[in-house]
Amino acid sequence: MILLDGKIASRAIKEKLLAATEQIKASGKTAPHLAAILVGTNGASETYVASKVKNCEETGFESTLIRLEEQVTESELLHQIVQLNQNPGIDGILVQLPLPKHINESVIIQAIHPDKDVDGFHPISAGKLVQGLPTFIPATPYGILLMLEHFQLSTKGKHAVVIGRSNIVGRPMSILLSSNIPYGNCTVTLCHSHTPNLADICLQADILVAALGKPEFVKASMVKPGAIVIDVGITRVTDATAKNGFRIKGDVAFDEVAPLCEAITPVPGGVGLMTIAGLLKNTLQAYQQHPLKAD
């Protein structure tokens, strides 16, 4: 069994990004700059955004974190986005999701200029992805492709089963795995909460991507021996014995599933780290596509 260690794979990517940024800076140019907007004080979102900012520092990128209170209005948030869109010093913009219920996520996502849409959530980015055109690939599916590439796991001709149809992970993942690209060319089944016989379908998977957000949902009885299992889940589960009072659980019952697999991602330390690597690569791409910053 190969442990798909996100620390190892993301470090290799970040080293290349750091080298690229150092070269940019050595030529007298400014570094790529990511702006992150965090609304409210959701604990998990705080952690993710802090990690994104820290990783920017580690790769020599500039970052700006804009914190807005939970009660911020949709129009105030839109105003912030318009300012970032117009600021030539900002290359990438991300608004951490989920947003408070009174804000329409779709309106916010569509306000981000597609040239700065490093999350790849704008319908223009998503449409390009579907048609196989160059675009920003959403960071988590991108990170998973980078993970497969790092560990040289071939996907061509395999049956990939994706559980979860979110715009952030499941749906773009299913499109990428079925696309005619390196680490694509799979036959893909996209499963969701209304899929009957889910366990039977999972058992047919050569590659199983669990992105449904239910801790330890995928059991050994659902996994074909020799499968590659990618666990996207990161749920906080209360645990009084843990330092923070919670433990992070994936969507896969790791201990019972791992012995069956050709390869499996751990949680934590797997896909989460690759998501950040994907975001950083998108930010560099946004910078390089800027007409005045490109070489």
Catalytic residue among 91, 119, 231, 251: 119
Q: Which residues pair with 249 in a beta bridge?
A: 235
- State yes or no: residue 37 binds ligand GUN (CB under 6 A): no
- As a whole number of angstroms, the distance between CA 231 and CA 267 comes to 7
Q: Angle 271-289/139-150 helices, nearest 10 degrees?
A: 110
Cis peptide before 141 (omega within 30 of 0): no
Distance CA 43, CA 45 (A): 6
Q: Does 168 bind ligand GUN (CB under 6 A)?
A: yes
Q: Which stretch binds ligand GUN (CB under 6 A): 77-85, 90-98, 156-164, 258-266?
A: 90-98
Q: Per CB under 6 A, does 139 bind ligand GUN?
A: yes
Distance CA 190, CA 150 (A): 24
Rule CB under 6 A: is residue 112 a binding residue for ligand GUN?
no
Of 91 and 119, CB closest to ligand GUN? 119
By CB under 6 A, residue 94 contacts ligand GUN? yes
Of 213 and 293, which has the nearer Cβ to ligand GUN?
213
How many residues lie near ligand GUN (CB under 6 A)? Answer: 9
Q: Which residue lies nearest ligand GUN, judged by its C-beta?
A: 97
Binding ligand GUN by CB under 6 A: which of 96, 135, 179, 283?
96
The nearest distance, CB 94 to ligand GUN, in angstroms, is 4
Report CA-CA distances (Å) from 171 to 8, 34, 54. Answer: 27, 25, 28
269-288 footprint of ligand GUN as x/- string (CB under 6 A):
------x-------------
Q: Which residues, at least 6 apart from 153, have a Cβ–Cβ distance to it below 8 Å?
A: 2, 183, 228, 262, 263
In the chain, DSSP finds a helix count (H) and a strand count (E) of 10, 11
- 91 binds ligand GUN, rule: CB under 6 A: no
Can you read off the two tokens belonging to residue 202? 């999972």
Annotated catalytic residues are 52, 96, 119
List of residues contacting ligand GUN (CB under 6 A): 94-97, 119, 139-140, 168, 275
